[in-house]
Amino acid sequence: MEFKDIIKPLDANKADDKLKEKHIPILKVIEKHGNSKKDYIRVVVGKNAKHPNTLEHHIEWIELYARTKTLNTVKIGSVKFAPGTEPDAVFRLVNLGKYREFFALAYCNVHGLWQNCIEIRKELRLTAGCRREKCLQEGFGV
């Protein structure tokens, strides 16, 4: 067994669509925000279909990882949520230009571990659900 075996798949054939919508972390790059012109990554769970938020059933945490342009994997940060807190996290980046991909994990205390990733291309175009071979090999992506 490998770590990737405990992460829920994005593949529609392997997971119920409603369950997926409520659990998959959605990543968004917020570039040069406001007057400060800082760069951020926002990770939200249940953006399109609200996840339950009770003591018995809630998103406990989100973790954000990135791969640099030199292919080093780094942990950007993690946020823990108490029941009643929206699973919505914003991470400020010191140097967005050094990263090429971001990976998020979200943990539901009932339904387990979910993932998503985005790739930042030269033009900063984003692709949800990274399907690159290297992502797949490391257990991220689809």
Alpha-carbon span 78 to 61, nearest angstrom? 7
Residue type (1 letter), 88: D
Q: Which two tokens stand for residue 89?
A: 């996290």
Alpha-carbon span 51 to 66, nearest angstrom? 25
Whether 130 is a known active-site residue: answer no
Whether 22 is a known active-site residue: answer yes
Nearer to Fe ion by Cβ, of 108 and 120: the residue is: 108
Binding-site ranges for Fe ion (CB under 5 A): 108, 110-111
Nearer to Fe ion by Cβ, of 10 and 108: the residue is: 108
Say if residues 76 and 94 touch (Cβ distance below 8 Å). no
Nearer to Fe ion by Cβ, of 54 and 70: the residue is: 54
Whether 23 is a known active-site residue: answer yes
Whether 63 is a known active-site residue: answer no
Q: Output the furthest CA–CA distance in the chain (Å, rounded).
A: 48
Annotated catalytic residue within 20, 22, 130, 135:
22
Task: Give the nearest distance from C-beta 117 to Fe ion in angstroms.
Answer: 20
Write out the catalytic residue numbers: 21-23, 51, 57, 108, 111
